[in-house]
C-alpha cells in the first residue's frame, strides 16, 4: 500500500466552509454506511460498502483503507488472506466494529495504520499507535541502503545507533536482517521508547537492542558505533502548514518539524557525529530533498565538521534526493571525553 506522507504528498487544506460541509457529509456518510452494513451478509459486501463510503467522503486510498479495516476485524492480516475470506459470513459484532473504525477513518481522518494497530515495515511487523510516527516506505529504502552498505556487509557484528527511533523501525528492521548486530535506539518522546521496547520484545530482539529516552543533544554513548542512522524531524516550517489532516491531527509534530529550513536536528547530529561514530564509520540520514546540497556544503566548509566526508546522496522511489551517506574519516581521533 502506498502511504500518504510527509511533505512529498501534501494535500492543501480546504477552506473553512468547505471543511464544515465535508464534516456534515462525513457524518451523513457514516450513518448511511452503518445502515448498509447491517444488511451485509459476507466479508465481500462489507468491504464494498466501506470502500464506497470512503470514496463518497473523499477519504484518500479508499480501497486499501476498506480492506485493512475489514481485514483487521475478520482476522485477515494480508490482502491475500482477505481475498480467501470474501465469502465468509460476517456477524453483528464484527459489523459494529467495522462501522466504528470506518467512522474514525471517515470523520476523524485517522490513518488506517493507527486503526489497525500494526504495520508491515521492511521484513517486520511493528505495533503502531498515535502519535508516534508511522514508518514510511521511504524509510524502508534507507534500511536497504544501510544493509547493503560495505561497512555492514564486511562487519557481521556491527553496532548501530538509531537517533529518533520512533517505533524502533530502522534499528529493529536492520537487527532482524543481521543476526550478530546490536544497537541502541534513542528518542526524546517517552511513548516512542515504550513502543520501540514493546516492538523489540515482540520481534525477539530485546537481547540485542536497547532503547533510551533522551535527546540527541544530551546522549553520551558508552562506546562509539559502527553505524549511526536517523530519520530525524526534517520538514521545513513552510511545509508544516500544508500537511494532510491524517498527519497533522494524529502524528506528533515534534517527529516532523525540523525548524525553519528543516535542518535543526540534522545540524545537531552532524556536530555530534564524532562523539557517536567510530573513525571510518557511516552516518546515514533521511532528509528533505532540499537538504543534501547544504549538508554537503557543511561537510566541505564547516571546520568543526572536518572529520566528515560527504560520500553520496541517494534518490527515493519518487526520484527525490532523500538520503545522504556521510563517513567519519579514518585516523580521525578527536578526544571524545573532552566534549562530554
Residue nearest to ligand SAM (CB): 164
One residue of 62, 71, 99, 164 binding ligand SAM per CB under 6 A: 164
**In angstroms, rounded to a whole number, what is the distance separating the alpha carbons of residues 17 and 14?**
8
Sole binder of ligand SAM in the list 113, 165, 182, 199 (CB under 6 A): 165
> Least distance (Å) from ligand SAM to the CB of residue 174?
12
Q: What is the CA radius of gyration of the chain?
A: 22
Residue from 139, 159, 199, 200 binding ligand SAM (CB under 6 A): 139
Total of chain residues touching ligand SAM, rule CB under 6 A: 24
Per-residue b/e over 19-42, b at no fewer than 16 CB within 10 Å? eeebeeebeebbeebbebbeebee
Show contacts with ligand SAM in window 209-238 (CB under 6 A).
215-217, 231-233
Q: Is 50 left (phi over 0), alpha (psi -120 to 50) or beta?
A: alpha
**Shortest spacing between CB 260 and ligand SAM, in angstroms:** 15
The Cα–Cα gap between 46 and 35 comes to 11
With beta carbons less than 8 A apart as the criterion, state whether 196 and 205 touch.
no
Q: Candidates 9-17, 32-40, 131-139, 301-309 — which segment interacts with ligand SAM by CB under 6 A?
A: 131-139
Supply the minimum distance, in Å, between the C-beta of residue 179 and ligand SAM. Answer: 22
Q: Cell triple for residue 171?
A: 534499528
Residues present in the chain in total: 340
Residues 6+ apart with CB under 8 A from 208: 175, 181, 182, 183
What is the x/- site pattern for ligand SAM, positions 241-280, by CB under 6 A?
Answer: -------------xx---------x---------------
Instruction: Report which DSSP code applies to 170.
Output: H
Residues that bind ligand SAM (CB under 6 A): 133, 135, 139, 163-167, 169-170, 186-189, 192, 215-217, 231-233, 254-255, 265
Amino acid at each position: 500500500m502506498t502511504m500518504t506522507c510527509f511533505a512529498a504528498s501534501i494535500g492543501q487544506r480546504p477552506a473553512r466552509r468547505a471543511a464544515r460541509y465535508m464534516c456534515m457529509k462525513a457524518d451523513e456518510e457514516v450513518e448511511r454506511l452503518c445502515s448498509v452494513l447491517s444488511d451485509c451478509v459476507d466479508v465481500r459486501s462489507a468491504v464494498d460498502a466501506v470502500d464506497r463510503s470512503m470514496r463518497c467522503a473523499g477519504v484518500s486510498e479508499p480501497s486499501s483503507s476498506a480492506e485493512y479495516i475489514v481485514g483487521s476485524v475478520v482476522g485477515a492480516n494480508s490482502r491475500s488472506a482477505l481475498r480467501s475470506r470474501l465469502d465468509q459470513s460476517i456477524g453483528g459484532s464484527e459489523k459494529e466494529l467495522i462501522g466504528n473504525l470506518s467512522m474514525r477513518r471517515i470523520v476523524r481522518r485517522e490513518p488506517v495504520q493507527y486503526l489497525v494497530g500494526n504495520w508491515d515495515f521492511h521484513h517486520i511487523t511493528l505495533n503502531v499507535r498515535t502519535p508516534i510516527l508511522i514508518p514510511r516506505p521511504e524509510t524502508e529504502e534507507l534500511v536497504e541502503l544501510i544493509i547493503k552498505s560495505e561497512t555492514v556487509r564486511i562487519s557481521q557484528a556491527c553496532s548501530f545507533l538509531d537517533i529518533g527511533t520512533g517505533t524502533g523501525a530502522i534499528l529493529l528492521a536492520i537487527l532482524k536482517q543481521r543476526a550478530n548486530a546490536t544497537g541502541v535506539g534513542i528518542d526524546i518522546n517517552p511513548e516512542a521508547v515504550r513502543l520501540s521496547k514493546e516492538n523489540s520484545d515482540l520481534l525477539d530482539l530485546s537481547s540485542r537492542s536497547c532503547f533510551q529516552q533522551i535527546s540527541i543533544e544530551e546522549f553520551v554513548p558508552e562506546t562509539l558505533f559502527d553505524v549511526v542512522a536517523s530519520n530525524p524531524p526534517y520538514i521545513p516550517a513552510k511545509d508544516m502548514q500544508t500537511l494532510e489532516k491524517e498527519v497533522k491531527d494524529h502524528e506528533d509534530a515534534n517527529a516532523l518539524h525540523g525548524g525553519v529550513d528543516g535542518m535543526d536536528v540534522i545540524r545537531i547530529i552532524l556536530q555530534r557525529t564524532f562523539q557517536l561514530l567510530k573513525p571510518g564509520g557511516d552516518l546515514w540520514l533521511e532528509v528533505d530533498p532540499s537538504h543534501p546540497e547544504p549538508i554537503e556544503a557543511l561537510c566541505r566548509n564547516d571546520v568543526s565538521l572536518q572529520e566528515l566526508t560527504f560520500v553520496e546522496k541517494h534518490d527515493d522511489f519518487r526520484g527525490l534526493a532523500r538520503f545522504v551517506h556521510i563517513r567519519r574519516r579514518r585516523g580521525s581521533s578527536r578526544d571524545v571525553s573532552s566534549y562530554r
